[in-house]
Structure 1
Amino acid sequence: MNTLRVGLIGAGGISRVHADGWRALGAAVSVYSHEGADALAEQYGFAVAPDLDALIAASDIVDIVTPTPSHGPLALAAIAAGRHVVCEKPLAGTAEEARAVVDAAREAGVRLFPAHVVRYFPEYAQVQRQVAAGRIGDPAVLRFVRGGEAPRAGWFHDEAAGGGIVRDQMIHDLDQALWLAGDVVRVYAVQSRRAADAAAPDAVTAHVVLTHASGALSHVQGSWGPRGMVFRTSADIAGAAGTLAIDSFDAPSRLDIPAAQDGEGYLPPPTHAESPYTAQLRDYVAAIAEGRDARVTAEDGIRAVAVAEAAMESLRTGAPVELDLAAAVLPAPVTAEAVGA
């Protein structure tokens, strides 16, 4: 069997959990980054590519772990060279750009995997399995909370670049809401002003309310707090037949389901036997080898960006935003200009 060749673009904080995953999978990894490539490569025993073209040429899969504004252009470059792509969330800065990336991958016959890693956390995956099995009936009200210390890099907070807390941090739970309750038709969002405290200049909280096509409502809250704020996530899903609740501070998490028994696997595992980042990459590699969908599809990447984009529009206008996700994921129409007619 030939060794899988992976090109890792970027050497920032998130690169190391991807590096751990690729090393666990036995891949031969090359790194390219404007900063930090040598240190990352030395730490993990990877090779350093002299430039982007060399990295892509030496890869079967290109893994993009750079700041958000570069995701779309880098993905398109790798796709144009016929490489499969793993791209950190969000897939692109706008839904239109995300759809262009998905269309390009489809036309090139390569696979594209948006890295929505929360789907691979055992607790969240268990909740989705119980919802899909009908254990609580149709989801009616969903609540997601995610918070921690504000990131220090300025691009995270620049809505024109990282997209602020909604597109960067809260997109995890926007994706969870879509995964658990289906497409969204209306989005309303509010956000606090930035803190005036010099010790926490980027502290912010946002709340997004999603109306699903099914009639379910999702409440998604995200916070970036002061230095030292402990990272915490929780999710609560209520239906007519029961509730599900997980909290990163609970061990084990709670699943309140009538007649549920621990022995039947209703309680999420309290620890992670394998890193969710490694599990995610393992699924993507297997999906390529087996010709099947992964737990996250390319179209899921468009949906999450479209919902985040609608939330940011709601923040700007102060009004709810109507959304047609089915239209958002349709391939772009082929025009006469596109085919050279």
Structure 2
Amino acid sequence: MTQLRVGLIGAGGIAGVHIAGWQQLGAQVSVYSRSGAVHLVQEYGVAEVDSLDALLAASDLVSILTPTTTHHHYAMAAIAAGKDVMCEKPLAESVTRAAEIVNAAQAAGVRLFPAHVVRFFPEYVQAKERLDQGLFGAAQVVRLSRASAAPAAGSWFFNEGLAGGIVRDQMIHDLDQARWLAGEVVQVEALQDPRTVNGVVPRPVTAKVFLTHESGAVSLLQGEWGPDSMPFHTSIAVEGDAGMWRFPLPVAAADDGAAEDTVGGQLPVQSPADSPYTLQIAEFAAALATGSPSRVSPLDGVMAVALAEAAYASIASGEPVEFSAAEVAGLLAH
């Protein structure tokens, strides 16, 4: 079997879990980063290349781990070079740009895998399986929360003009989850506290998004970028007309006896072998090898961006926003 060559673009905090996942599968990994990747070379033994062209030449699949506004550029370059693409969420900074990536990949005959990793966390998989098996009856209420230490002050994450913001970056995981669990959405209502000022999101910040689904179910989402001491934690609860299931996920603290001023985190603690990131990568690799679909489709990536856009429109107007899944799907070539 030919060894898969994977090229990573970006060397930020998420790069390590992606590298560990690909190495678990025996892939050959190269990294290109405009800011350098010496720390990844030293820690993981990957190869560093000095240009995008060199990375494309050395790769069969390109994995994009850079800030959101660069996703479109790098994805289109990889697709033009005939490479399959895996892209961290959100797929792009706007639904229009996300659809352009999907349509380009389809036209070029390459695979596109939006990286919505929460679909691979076991607790969320259990919720989906139990709903599909009818163990709760029809879904009526889905509650999802996600909180972590805020990204570094002054970073692009807080600049909504650079596709930052808590809804687009952090809560997009749960926007995708709500749609996965309860189906297509017809209305989005959202609020943020404190509100964005001159395009800059305050730090810390919380946001809430309320989704109404075609089925009549509702999803209640809450996100928080908290103080530096806040550990990563999430929760999920599903209520149906025949039962309910609640799962508070374990808090990922660095030290059980940590003091309040201990630095928190933005990612859950996982070992490479059983990490959801590795499970995601393994499924994408299998889909690539066999031509089979993945549980995360290109449409899923576009729809999550569209829901985030609708949430921001609601925050700006202070009113609910009608949402048409059919209109979003209509942006894609068929």
Q: Which amino acid aligns with 2:121?
A: F
Q: How many pairs align?
A: 313
Q: Percent of pairs identical after alignment? A: 53
Using the size of structure 1 for normalisation, the TM-score is 0.88
Partner of 2:100: 100
Q: Within 2, Cα distance between the matches of 1:103 and 1:326?
A: 16
Q: Which residue of 2 aligns with 1:300?
A: 300
Equivalent residues of 1:187, 1:209 under 8 A apart? yes
Match of 1:260 in 2: none
Distance of 1:249 and 1:332 partners within structure 2: 38
Whether contact under 8 Å (2:144, 2:174) holds in the other structure is: yes
C-alpha separation in 1, matches of 2:223 and 2:202 = 16
Aligned to 1:339: none
Q: Is contact 1:195-1:203 (8 Å) kept? A: no
| Alignment of structure 1 residues 154-303 onto 2, 5 Å | 154-193=155-194, 202-249=203-250, 274-303=274-303
1:256 corresponds in structure 2 to none
**Compared with structure 1, are the counterparts of its residues 217 and 271 closer, same or farther at alpha carbon in structure 2 (3 Å cutoff)?**
farther
Partner of 1:48: 48
Three-state SS of the structure 1 residue aligned to 2:190 is strand
Residue 272 of structure 2 contacts residue 278 of structure 2 at CA under 8 Å; is this kept in 1? no
Question: Displacement, 1:148?
Answer: 1.3
Taking the aligned partners of 1:234 and 1:328, their CA distance within structure 2 comes to: 28
Query: Does the residue aligned with 1:295 lie in a helix, a strand or coil?
Result: coil
Deviations 1:248-288 (A, max 9, x none): 138xxxxxxxxxxxxxxxxxxx9996110000000000001
Are 2:118 and 1:112 aligned? Answer: no
d(CA) in 1 for partners of 2:330 and 2:8? 29
TM-score by length of 2: 0.90
Q: How far apart in 2 are the matches of 1:45 and 1:147?
A: 32
Q: What amino acid sits opposite 2:174 in the alignment?
A: D
- Return the letter of the residue paired with 1:173: D
Query: Aligned partners of 2:26, 2:32: CA distance in 1, in Å?
Result: 19
For 1:190, the aligned partner's letter is L
Instruction: Answer yes or no: is the 8 Å Cα contact 1:210–1:218 preserved in 2.
Output: yes
Once the 2 structures are TM-superposed, how far is the Cα of residue 52 of structure 1 from its aligned partner? Answer: 0.3
Greater Rg by CA:
1
What is the alpha-carbon distance in structure 2 between the residues aligned to residue 272 and residue 146 of structure 1?
Answer: 22
- Structure 1 Cα separation of the partners of residues 217 and 192 of structure 2: 22
Q: Which runs of 4+ in 1 moved over 4 A?
A: 270-273, 331-334
Q: Secondary structure at the match of 2:326?
A: helix
The one-letter code sitting in structure 1 at the alignment partner of 2:3 is T
C-alpha RMSD of matched pairs (Å): 2.2
Matched, 1:322 2:322: yes
What SS does structure 2 have at the residue aligned with 1:128?
helix
Unaligned runs of 5+ in 2: 252-269
